[in-house]
Chain A
Amino acid sequence: MTLKENALTWFTQRANSWLTKRIPAANSHTLSNRNIFILPTPFGIAYLSFVLLLFLLGTNYQNNIILLLSYLLASFFITVMMHSFLNFSKLKITVPVNQQHQLGYAGQPLYFPLIISAVKKHYHVNFQLKSLPPQLNFDDRKASLACCEKGDNSRQLLIIGQQRGEYSLGRVTIYSEYSFGLFKSWSQLDFAQHVTLYPKPKRIVSKQYALLNDKTEQGESISLRGNRGIDDFSELKHFVRGESKARTAWKQLAKGQGHFTKHYQENHGGLLWLKLSDMPAENIETQLSYLTFLVNELTRTEQVFGLQLNSSHSEILPNSGSSHQQRCLQALARF
């Protein structure tokens, strides 16, 4: 690493720590002189050099009107700076607390909603994610407001990540080039947004997996579908909307005892373990993708299963239900 790079990283670190102190993370920020930065754009600098050119022209021709024009344009530059500040300040941006953390699969679009509350009209408000980790990408076309009306406006940051994992979105850059593109008013707000990306589910053919299972010494196998008939009946539960009519306990219903559904248990009696090492692929990512698919599939069919990744201490004990699914998926994402 060269000295220059060292200095650069040191500088960015300092800048980041300064930013964290100045603009700490919160789910809601109001733009004010505390968190707004204003800098001239390249066009602003071109404009200033143009004003200088006019000054030279006026001086060389000893032309008072051209001089006056150059002074007016220079003074206009300062006025525009303040107007771009005024246009930008007092804007309140909120991320709903329950939306700060988003869950999803790799390759699936994720939306982070932003609620922009304004007490007056604001123009040309844009959102950008600059410190986004490279695994995520941000569709910057959609997060801009040409005109932000009084009241609440909402925009979404669309993120598509290709690689599983847990990421923090970093700071959201909000900027505006109103009024004349001479200045860029911007702020970097930390909404503590983060995202957990599960591996992309990859379909595994059940027979293929069953075959694989036969070879294993434990002799455990799973049944994905079709062999439910031989499962042991375990209990009756109250009907929950959405459950299949096929499982209705008609006898009880006919007796007028209420609407129950029959539930079955695995006939193997043993616990169903999903193991990373069982997955029929060389690539670890593919294996994880298979596991994701299986976790979803088993949850859908309401089976009890456990998840065992490469070592025994990173295992999740068998259970069922959506919170169990979440735990499993998170473990897969983190792996």
Chain B
Amino acid sequence: MSLFSFSTNKKVIATKPKIAHFSLSTQNSWLLWCCQCINIALISAELSSWMLAIIALSFVWQALLLNKNATSHKLSSDKKNSQSKKKPDHHISPVFLGFFAIAGCLAITLSAQGLGVLLSMVHLLSFAYALKAFELKSRRDFYQLFLLGLFLVAAALIFKQDLSFALIAMVALVVNLAVLLQFFSRAQAVSNTLKTVLLLLGQSMFLAAVLFIVFPRLSPFWQVPQANSATTGLSDTVQPGDIAKLAQSSELAFRVNFSQGNIPTYSQLYWRAMVLEDYDGRAWSRTAPDPATVSHDNYQLEAINKRLFMPNTFKESEKLNYQIITEPSFQHWLFALAPATSKDNSLLLLPDYTIQSRKLLSQAKGYHLDSYLNSPLEVNIAQERKAQNLALPARSNPRLVQLAQQLAQQYPDSEQRAQAVLTQIREQQYFYTLEPPRLLNNSLDQFFFDTKAGFCEHYASAFTFIMRASGVPARLVTGYLGGEYNNLSSDGTTNRSNEAQGAQQGHLSIYQSDAHAWSEIWVEGKGWLRVDPTAAVDPMRVNSGFSTQLQQQQLALNNNLLSFNHLKKFAWLNELRLRFDALDYQWTRWVLGYSNDKQRDLLQQLLGKVQAWKVALIIIGAMAISIALVFGVMLLINHQKKQKRALSPWLVLYQKALLILANNGLEKPVNVTPQKFLLILKIKYPELSLAFARVNASFTRLNYQELTREEQKKEFKKLQQHYKNFIKATKKI
């Protein structure tokens, strides 16, 4: 943690005698200030608000100091009083700064419990970074500040990696480097500095890419504190209203790429995330994993998996292979079209057909699944599991219980009974809304009989409750429904050829707004059947995802201007959004998803047998190429400059005139001066000599005399006139 010890080192640095006088130009100081703001802004999402307030305060302070310095500097240079040699710089007293630093560190330590290790470190880092700017006393401090800034950019990348954020981080990197470059080329304008940095970074890209592809990827050396950011997406308890809240977010949840290109119809895309089997009268929650069945013991799990996902019960022809790339949700839940199998060791396949990741999803994760959409789920279940899915808390929702008993008598067949409930929902005045009225104690009775307005989880929980009360095992399933199809993710050529074959290319993007809840009932001989009561109240939602009413609500509720619901209003903006989404998808797939295995496969393809010396050779080759690239670009730039100089318009005209003479048998040797050449011309073509003499005189003036712009223009016009006359004269010969 030596990086964080700057704040404690301060006093040591301050008391050291400084030999070299250090100061930044005003321009550079402001650039540094902007750079610091950008760096802090990058990581601001992870900082607590009090820390942000402190940092903002110190930045404002810094800005005031800079302003004061700039004005006093101007004053002193105006007066030109050389007698006072003392610096006009305003500094904060080190005692005060030290006190401030200690207070800040104390505050961070106190809140460390809540923040967790990683976040407290990030807080400390940001705090040190903001304070360090107050004491730039030597070049060393400046360098330290620069490296701290870069580290902050890297730290921000721990938490977020999507394409847009990576691009912003790149911008921050450019600004950071520009600050450093500006220090060594003070006279340069900021725009030129930025250009130089971009050129240099551009020249470094090639080697960086090669290193990224071939440099050996190592497994983690030691355990690092993981980012425990706020979890996003579904949670493992659902109360009425939860999913409605989630559905207002336009954040990306995950993306799917179907390998054969045949995407199932929209109404089949029930992305299963969690199965909730416990109902306590208010909320649905997941059963605490039964240690007998779900332990983290691999052998037992494999046994369960074998029993549940017996390959012979699946028809190979129905196999649907696809890849899912999830966004970091800081949870364990993954998504699948049930029933799904996978050979991926990093996945846990649970008996309720849901899938978990063994590791917390703090980064984008890609995995492949095989699904068999028409296969039954768990045809035989144990008696205790059945009882679990029939359990209801005593005395909750008596009116629903009454209805259930009534239906049980009316429809002895469980499927018919379910259909009857759906019919009731369809035929009565029920509303599907993102803003359901609040329910007292989450009473399902109140929803089903009084308010009659709710989102998917209201309908699903009420339905599940009725089924349980009437004696049918039922459970609530949460996940996502549908997704947005984007065919821009494949490049144009392959897209067209695939379309010709009738296959679809592209990917599905599933957003948080696609969050959904539905129910499953268990029917003897058929296993778990999916019943989506939402289909009864808003069939559009289930069949195409397109529900005008819902979209308008989402639009009204979402005040984020950049959310795609707003963008959808304009065709071109939507196109742009889809294009960016496609790019982000490729970024996630190829850059974020580039793993050890992929590297091994790729290197094997490229090199045959992977050997260290081959990899080293590639890296050395890439280095040579990038060095050649730098020199090549330099040569090119110099060459262009020279050409520009050589091709002045008057020179072109003069050369043309000489060419005409050469065609007429009179060539001007290089070593003959224009004056001498004129004499030779006089002898050979006396009728041309006057016209050429004029051209010559004009050209000499333009080429060898220092003229102002105006004069140059005038003279060039004269030259053109003379040239025309010369041409006329030559035609007479």
Contacts and interface: CB of A to CB of B under 8 A. Distances in A.
A56 B630 contact: no
B185 A61 contact: no
A71 interface: yes
B154 to A, nearest CB: 5
Contacts of A67: 212, 217
A63 interface: yes
Nearest to B202: A79
A101 interface: no
Contacts of A181: 139, 143, 180, 183-184
Interface stretch (A46-54, A283-291, A299-307): A46-54
Given A65-B157, A66-B157, A71-B212, A80 B200 contact: yes
A76 B201 CA distance: 6
Tier of interface size on chain A? 35 or more
Given A65-B591, A76-B200, A178 B157 contact: no
Given A64-B594, A66-B154, A68-B591, A79 B185 contact: no
Contact of B204 (A60, A75, A180): A75
A63 B221 contact: no
A146 B187 CA distance: 8
A39 to B, nearest CB: 17
Contacts of B181: 179-180
A324 to B, nearest CB: 42
Interface string B432-447: 0000000000000000
Nearest to B593: A64
Interface string B194-214: 001000110111111001100
Question: Which of A47, A79, A146 has most chain B Cβ within 10 Å?
Answer: A79
A335 interface: no
Contacts of A59: 217-221
A69 B177 CA distance: 13
Given A71-B212, A72-B205, A63 B157 contact: yes
A43 to B, nearest CB: 5
Contact of A180 (B154, B177, B592, B623): B177
B69 to A, nearest CB: 20
Interface in A66-99: 66-69, 71-76, 78-80, 82-83, 86
Contacts of B634: 86
Contacts of B180: 180-181
Contacts of A66: 154, 157-158
Contact of A147 (B153, B187, B207, B215): B187
A178 B200 contact: no
Given A50-B147, A57-B154, A181-B143, A65 B630 contact: no
Contact of B186 (A43, A54, A75, A147): A147
A124 interface: yes
A239 interface: no
Contacts of B157: 63, 65-66, 69
A146 B186 contact: yes
B540 interface: no
Given A60-B224, A72-B208, A78-B204, A179 B150 contact: no
Contacts of B224: 60-61
A293 interface: no
Indicate the size class of the contact surface on chain B. 35 or more
Interface string B160-179: 01000010010001000100
B448 to A, nearest CB: 48
Nearest to A178: B184
Interface in B630-669: 630-631, 634, 638
A123 interface: yes
A68 B208 contact: yes
Given A59-B221, A64-B591, A72-B201, A78 B623 contact: yes
Interface string B609-634: 00000000000000100110011001
A73 B180 CA distance: 14
A177 interface: yes
Given A74-B211, A180-B181, A60 B220 contact: yes
Nearest to B183: A181
A78 B594 CA distance: 25
B151 A50 contact: yes
B363 interface: yes
B222 interface: yes
Nearest to A80: B200
Interface string B130-165: 000000000100010001001101100110010000
A64 B161 contact: yes
A78 B626 contact: yes
A178 B185 contact: yes
A50 B143 CA distance: 12
Contact of B363 (A57, A60, A63, A75): A63
A322 interface: no
Given A78-B207, A147-B187, A180-B177, A62 B200 contact: no
B585 to A, nearest CB: 15
Nearest to B223: A60
B321 to A, nearest CB: 24
Contacts of A123: 184-185, 188
B215 A71 contact: yes
Contacts of A146: 185-187
B359 to A, nearest CB: 9
Interface in A88-124: 120, 123-124
Contacts of B169: 65, 69
A181 B139 CA distance: 10
A83 to B, nearest CB: 6
Interface string B464-494: 0000000000000000000000000000000
Contacts of B222: 60
B99 to A, nearest CB: 29
A62 B596 CA distance: 10
22 contacts: A57-B158, A60-B220, A60-B221, A60-B224, A63-B157, A64-B592, A65-B166, A65-B591, A69-B154, A71-B212, A72-B208, A75-B204, A75-B206, A75-B208, A76-B177, A78-B207, A123-B185, A124-B185, A146-B186, A147-B186, A180-B180, A181-B139
Given A79-B626, A147-B186, A180-B181, 15 more contacts: A47-B147, A59-B218, A59-B220, A64-B594, A66-B158, A67-B217, A71-B215, A72-B204, A75-B206, A79-B630, A86-B634, A146-B187, A178-B184, A179-B196, A180-B177
- For the complex of A and B, list the 6 residue pairs with the smallest distance between their C-beta atoms, beginning with the closest: A75-B207, A75-B204, A71-B211, A72-B208, A147-B187, A123-B185
